[in-house]
Amino acid sequence: MYLHRFGIYCLLPLLLLTRPALCQVADSSIRKVNVQGALNFRDLGGYTTADGHHVKWHVLYRSADISKLTPADLDTLNTRHIVYDVDLRGVQESAKAPDKLNAGTDYILCPAGSDSLNAAMFKNLAGMTSGGDSMMMVWYANTAYLTARYKPFFGKLFVVPSGDALLFHCTAGKDRTGIAAALLLYALGVPYETIRQDYAATNYYRASDNDRAISSMTAMHIGEPVVRAMMSANPQYLDAAFDAIRRQYGSIDNYLQQQLGLDQQHLTLLRQKFLE
């Protein structure tokens, strides 16, 4: 019985991926950035837009926490010209584990809502044995802090010079980073199904660390189903965020224009900058 359960849990990250998403994983040899001190560090390039363009390689990167980068990892960032860093963590998170960066890196913290939302989420976890998916759906459907968190992120995208690259990340590289990647890819014209696949691929890139996190959090008397829901990059979570935006603003396009300042002129500039 134990071996059967262990086998299912090992397969979970792959079972959560759609077949097209497995294709995204298949190109991990060029997408994954091999660093020792960070997880889920990958290139956002290569995705095909609805009109046949492609997101440029080697200019946009997403990751989890980068507070443990080694000197060799920093050399990798330097080689890849990653000199812009958008930190989507909260003030407390970033203070406890400051980003490791090369000298001269342009750093910005976008903490809106993170400290309060994290505190609210973890407040009642002890003893919780079910309802993890519902909790995550509620978290993703909360639009209160989206604009304050992501408008500075998009603003930074416009100032990255040609030849330089930008990294954005949070702690797990899954939730806040997943929404940032989704909004960016949407703004660039990437179809939503592809966006979901990029989001779900986190289950592959974080598989080994998720197992360790699950073991650690269940030891804190949090039910395993709850922890697994929290650690999962379930595409339905992303759907909840996009559905909430549509309910409030009428469409994702309206949100981009009204809240993030991405009118047609700015969208054109963004696409000229990051598409080929």
Active-site residue list: 170
Residue 41 CB contacts under 8 Å (≥ 6 apart), including other chains: 32, 33, 35, 61, 62, 63, 64, 66, 173
Provide the strand spans (E) within the chain. 42-43, 60-63, 82-87, 106-109, 165-169
Closest-CA residue to 267 (of 188, 190, 191, 179): 188
Q: How far is Cα 198 from Cα 182, in angstroms, rounded to an integer?
A: 8
**Do residues 69 and 105 touch, judged by C-beta distance below 8 A?**
no
Residue 257 CB contacts under 8 Å (≥ 6 apart), including other chains: 263
Dihedral Cα 155, 159, 160, 166, nearest 10 deg? -20
Strand, coil or helix: 40: coil
Residues forming a β-bridge with 86: 108, 168
Residue type, 133: D
Residues 87-105 as b or e (16 or more Cβ within 10 Å = b): bbbbeebbeeeebbbeeeb
